[in-house]
Structure 1
Amino acid sequence: MTTLTIAGALLPGHGPATTTVLVKDGRIAAIGEPPTGTVLDAEGGSVLPGFIDAHAHLLSLGESMAVLDLRDAADFPEVVRRVAARAATAAPGEWIIGRGWTPAGDPPHHHPLSQAAPDNPVLLNRFDHHGAVVNAAALRLAEVDAGTADPPGGRVLRHEGEPTGVLLETAADLVRAVIPARDAAGRRRLLRQAAAHCLRLGLTGLHDAIDDVTWIDDYRALLAEGVPMPRIFGMVRAPAEGDLAEFAGDVLTGTGDPRFALQRLRLVSDGGLAARGALFAEPYCDDPGHSGAALVTQERIREAARAVLAHGHGLTVHAIGDLANHRLLNTLEPLLADRPGHRFVVEHATVVTPGDQRRMAALGLIASVQPAHLHAATGYLLDRLGADRARHAYAFRSMLRAGVRLAHGTDFPVAPPDPMLTLHAGETRQSRSGGEPLFPAERLTRAELLHGATAEGAYMARREHDLGALTPGHRADLAVLDRDLFAADPAELPQIRVRHTLIDGIPTQ
């Protein structure tokens, strides 16, 4: 038996400020009993259920750790300087990939990038991955020129008819498609690094987006090797074509491993809000000729829903704009009205009108939301939508009041995977540097945010019986913090660190 001695506050209602959690055979045996066996002293920190991220991209996180990190670049000239520095050491023809570019002001042109790296193709993904900026070498390799039509769901930005190098939404895939694919060894190396990073942050579970079925063998191989990883609840990207009933039956099968489950199909119904790709009933305020794009038909969503219901599995649909969410509800309502227990998920559910919030609750849909996106959205949301529509964005308090279950995640690496940033953003509704809160009436309490980042992720995975709570009998997936979470000032939350992460009672570091 391993005993964890906690010198700090547990979750409210779990006993006095200083208490113990007893772990036996990988499960919580008791709370508040005298210490026995091995003692792990929390040194005044809190012990919590391990965090479960409701929307993650583990391989993309690994890739973001291996490429140029542009998140802190002050402006586009700084981005160009970093690309030039990388090009100075790169072999001719070697791809230069970056992540985290944040548009500001006028859209950039590829000329500076092309001059900085004339012999290397460059692709710099936006911070939200809903587009990229590329240089001339990359455009040539992808054969994107003045005659290239905008692909469905994407836009090639142009100046006097010629591509500027800015590719929004699916247009970026024109270039991504010609980048040499990583082999299995390369993917597994990145997954290993990303998993270790997540464990250091107290993440013991991930609802992970698996965009290619070939990745499934990578997860199985790492687990077979004994690589420490969070539990993976896989949501597999549905193919654009083909029989989805057959696909779901073949792919969404039990793995026999409580650490890895393939639970749901995933579809993307619209684009991103920052890139003006999210689908709205009215045009964007700062782009009056554009109201976003539908990236999948409602018939395909209907087909996917029927396919997973037939096999007893789940469905996740990315929907950000108010029209995307409205259409999704129209599509699912006839299928789910008499199907309790389905646990279908609306991924993001960023802008949902009050009437549709009530419909979402009535259907038992889970909203997988990302409070940490508020850190960036405070800078552009009002420009995109105006005050009337923006008040329905990230409306967490209103959604809870309507009866919608909220499972919290980050969509990492769009936002950093640190759960403390989820708590900070949802409680303050400010950018990380402070400033005016965005619609403060929609704030959540720290306890509500923690519940959404633990128990609701377990519910979403159909694991509420053994994960997501400090309950005797539950698996001992735990995060031990370096201070008392409920005594910390909101401004301190981003500075809180995880001392220990345990899965089945075993420290992972």
Structure 2
Amino acid sequence: MKNYKLTVLFVLPLLLLGCYQPDKADMIIHNAKIYTCDESFSIQQAIAIKDGKILQVGPNREILNGYDCSNIIDGALRPIYPGFYDAHCHFWGYANTLREVDLNGTKSFNEVISRIIAFQKSNPTAWITGRGWDQNLWDDKSFPTNDSLNKRFPNTPLLIRRVDGHAALANQKALELAKIDANTQVEGGEILMENQKLTGLLIDNAVTLVVDKIPTVNATEKLKYLQIAQTKLFEQGLTSINDAGVTAAERIQFIQWYQNGDLKIKDYMMLFPTPENLEYALKHGSYDSLGLHINSFKLIADGALGSRGACLLNPYSDKHNHFGSLLKNEESMSKIAEIAKNINFQLNTHCIGDSANRTLLKIYQQTIGQELDHRWKIEHAQIIDSVDMAFFQYLGVIPSVQPTHYTSDKDWIETRLGKDRLKGAYAYNTLFNQAGLIVLGTDFPIENISVLETFYAAVTRRKKDEPVNINEPKDKECLSRRAALMGITYWPAFSNFEEDKKGSLATGKDADFVILTKDIMEVPEDEILKTFIFQTYLNGEVVYNAE
């Protein structure tokens, strides 16, 4: 009897072990350095995935022994991060630049003209459009006029936007089609003149007068360029984007394209608060399906600093008695804020100048007060008076910033603002300390689509080609690498109420991640931009492979 009991005690565990069936996984990546970006910022070695979701992240042995999987990949000690999330960009705006004249990096207005001529020869179109010029990069930093464009293109309408999109130069033919003359007035915009003659330069809302006359792109062509753009975004490690400003017509198209599976990149969409979009939001509320998430309005409070449209508390240092302006009055913006609050939409507002930032923070305070967990944002938050910084903490407002804006602008910021206002300009670490988080974007197509350039600018405050001065003290507004990584992964997801689905690598979340060739958290600063995207995964599927 005693021997029988011993036999049972010995055999029973073996029988139970034989009955054990490990869970199945579609893929396991092991022998990697996995930054989970979870609450403890833990680093793991392996990840198991099934049906586009993460089963588990953990030590090599635990993952390899815990799952039945025929697709086991050696990570070769490469670093893995949550899929990158661009917190402020323009999806169609970028796609549209792929079919226009590229004027980025032009060193003079003559080069602008040369690029237009070359483009039109190989791409003859009824309208010439382009984007990317920046007079601050030229020897002559004054705004251009349309005289030479009128001579070269007398019968073809032309509109070329400044890099920030808040100013544009139109030739006479385009002005005629838009019925703009010396008597035309536009609220929230400027039509510049010299010697009682139109120069062709349009600021902010005035640009729309011409844009409205440009023939719309048909849906088939639009989707084609969006898919080309999507491929380029996957190449940068992007799996999610914040699409900062979408019209009603675009909203309808995007919903259809995502329902059909024509687009894959995950898009958090901010609707322009037009009557059609307001009606849609009031009737339907939030939309979240197949990678498309609509739950916010995008307000534009003022223009850009480069075109002197940003609304300042005190005059521009380089233009007498010029303050910039608000593009909407306070009453209309307050009404939109109330609508957003009443339907549980977020409000994300473009604010560049310190006056615009103060105005919107005041509207936010009047609308939401200290209401918890609204996650409303100030987009750009570029120039903020010191007395207003505390409102980000007090109101729980999230700063959404673009580090490459600082590196692009820093050579001329003091000319625009004077020395005294620099303390509150592009003050990213100060904003982070106030808000407790900060979300980072590129604002493409205004800046390059590269997330790694955003990361580099955030942690160094240097241009990508700027020499390193080892004797120069570190800029106090640099973000730590941990804050910068969270700013391109978890915090954007959190800012959009998406943290249960993505932003970090954890059980049950979408298997969106990126594998790099080097560890941007550890390599010397000058190695960050020598790092490349190795693979991008969306829902557990490879959408970009460098091999």
Deviation at 1:400? Answer: 1.9
Is the CA contact 2:34–2:81 (under 8 Å) kept in the aligned structure 1?
no
Letter of the aligned partner of 1:360 in structure 2? F
Q: Is the 8 A contact 2:57 2:505 kept in 1?
A: no
Report the counterpart of residue 7 of structure 2 in structure 1.
Answer: none
Matched position secondary structure for 1:88: helix
Contact 2:297–2:348 (Cα < 8 Å) also in 1: yes
User: Aligned partners of 1:374, 1:203: CA distance in 2, in Å?
Assistant: 22
Q: Which moved more, 1:475-484 or 1:352-361?
A: 352-361
**1:126 has 2:158 as partner:** no
Is contact 1:6–1:21 with CA below 8 Å preserved after alignment? no
Does residue 1:147 correspond to 2:180, yes or no? Answer: no
Alignment match, 1:75: 108
Partner of 1:465: 500
Match of residue 52, structure 2, among 18, 23, 26: 26
Match of 1:14? 42
CA contact (8 A) 2:350 2:378 kept: yes
Q: 2:387 aligns with which of 330, 355, 362?
A: 355
Letter in 1 for 2:103: L
Deviations 1:76-104 (A, max 9, x none): 1011111122333454x711111101113
1:208 aligns with 2:236: no
Matched, 1:101 2:133: yes
Match of 1:325 among 357, 362, 373: 357
Residue pairs, 1:281-360, within 5 angstroms: 281-360=313-392
AA aligned to 1:52 is Y
How big is each residue's C-alpha offset from its partner over 1:212-261, in whole Å with a ceiling of 9 and x where there is no partner?
1121232233323333522111110002x6895x4531354324x15111
Q: Per the alignment, do residues 243 and 25 of structure 1 end up closer, same or farther by CA in structure 2, a change over 3 Å counting?
A: closer
**Residue among 297, 303, 307 paired with 1:271:** 303
Aligned-CA RMSD value: 2.2
State the distance in 1 between where 2:406 and 2:31 align.
32
Deviates more, 1:437-446 or 1:423-432: 437-446
Equivalent residue for 2:84, pick from 42, 48, 51: 51
- Residue 7 of structure 1 and its aligned partner are, at CA, apart by 4.0
Listed one character per residue, the Cα deviations across residues 300-353 of structure 1 (whole Å, up to 9, x for unaligned) are: 222122212222221111111111111112112132224211111111111122
Residue aligned with 1:226, SS: coil
The Cα shift of 1:439 comes to: 8.4
Q: Percentage identity across aligned positions?
A: 28
Contact 2:516 2:533 in 1 (8 A): yes
Structure 1 length-normalised TM:
0.93
- Corresponding residue of 1:231: 266
1:39 deviates by: 3.1
1:5 aligns with 2:30: yes
Letter of the structure 2 residue corresponding to residue 394 of structure 1: Y
Give yes or no for contact 2:132–2:163 (8 Å, CA) kept in 1: yes
Q: Secondary structure at the match of 2:248?
A: coil
Q: CA offset at residue 286 of structure 1?
A: 0.8
Number of the residue aligned with 2:71: 38
Residue matched to 1:178 = 213
Name the larger-Rg structure.
Answer: 2
Cα contact 1:11–1:48 (8 A) shared by 2 = yes
SS in 2 for 1:440: coil
**Alignment partner of 1:235: what SS?**
strand
Partner SS, residue 60 of structure 1: helix
Q: Residue 116 of structure 1 aligns with which residue? A: 152
Secondary structure of residue in 1 paired with 2:187: coil
Length, aligned pairs only: 502
Task: Verify the 8 A CA contact 2:95 2:226 in the aligned structure 1.
Answer: yes
1:391-470 to structure 2, matched below 5 A, reads 391-434=423-466, 440-470=475-505
Secondary structure, aligned partner of 1:193:
helix
341-350 or 482-491, which moves further after superposition?
A: 482-491
Q: Is 1:199 matched with 2:234?
A: yes
Instruction: Tell me: CA distance 1:267–1:381, structure 2 relative to 1, closer, same or farther (3 Å).
Output: same
* Structure-2 change in CA distance of 1:152 and 1:142 (3 Å): same
* 1:160 has 2:195 as partner: yes
User: Any idea what SS the aligned residue of 1:229 has?
Assistant: coil
* 1:370 CA drift (Å): 0.8
Task: Out of 280-289 and 296-305, give the one that drifted further.
Answer: 296-305
1:379 and 1:493 mapped to 2: Cα distance?
A: 23
Match of 1:375 in 2: 407
